[in-house]
Structure 1
């Protein structure tokens, strides 16, 4: 197993349980791809604004904070369409794969 791949990592769980389906569909939709790119840029900016580099740890930390905020607001994925939160989660999955943090 390559360094940085952890079965219990929240990024791995999210990518496995949630990201695979949306990311496959995103490649067929230029509009969705553009939205994911914008969300990825916002996540990168947020991490870097805190003075950190994008790493498995910083992205997982961002994910935990984002999910805590979603839970506090009572959000849950209905599976019907791509709301703002779903797009942000898909962008996090995409980033985790692009950076090599998950397979």
Structure 2
């Protein structure tokens, strides 16, 4: 159950979305400690690939492909969310507590 995304989203205290990045504030309510993780604002797991010819021949479609892609900020049932990606960057600050069945600040 440790890898369940619900355990990560339970830590989310605040999410700030800017033009180029997302800041996720993870708070351990047991120790009252907060860790902030910042990740780039990218759709999917990586970047969208647009060829030079696509940009040249279809500029509007290329723009829409990049700027109008749905991005999942967080969801309790999905491993591929920006919050999970942000948590992985700061996961060394948290340890899994088997007794409490949750992550706690290390």
Q: TM-score range by the shorter chain?
A: under 0.3
Structure scoring higher RCO (CA < 8 A, sep ≥ 6) equals 1
Relative to the length of structure 1, the TM-score reads 0.27
Instruction: Considering fraction of residues, name the structure with more helix.
Output: 1
Higher CA-based Rg: 2
Relative to the length of structure 2, the TM-score reads 0.27
